[in-house]
Amino acid sequence: MTPTLRGVRPNIVQSIRAFRVSDLQKAAHAAGQHFLYANLGNAQTKQDVLDLIAQQFTFPQHFGKNFDALYDCMTDPLHKSGPQPGFVIVLEQIPANAKFDKEAREQLLDIFRDAADYWGDRKIPFRCFYSFL
Chain segment 49-105, per-residue pLDDT in tens = 999 999 999 998 888 889 999 999 999 877 677 789 999 999 999 999 999 999 999
Sorted by where each starts, the structural domains of the chain and their CATH numbers stand as 32-132 (3.30.370.10)
Sign of CA dihedral 37, 14, 4, 33: negative
**What pLDDT score does 2 carry?**
55
**What pLDDT score does 60 carry?**
85
Which three-class secondary structure state does DSSP give residue 132? strand
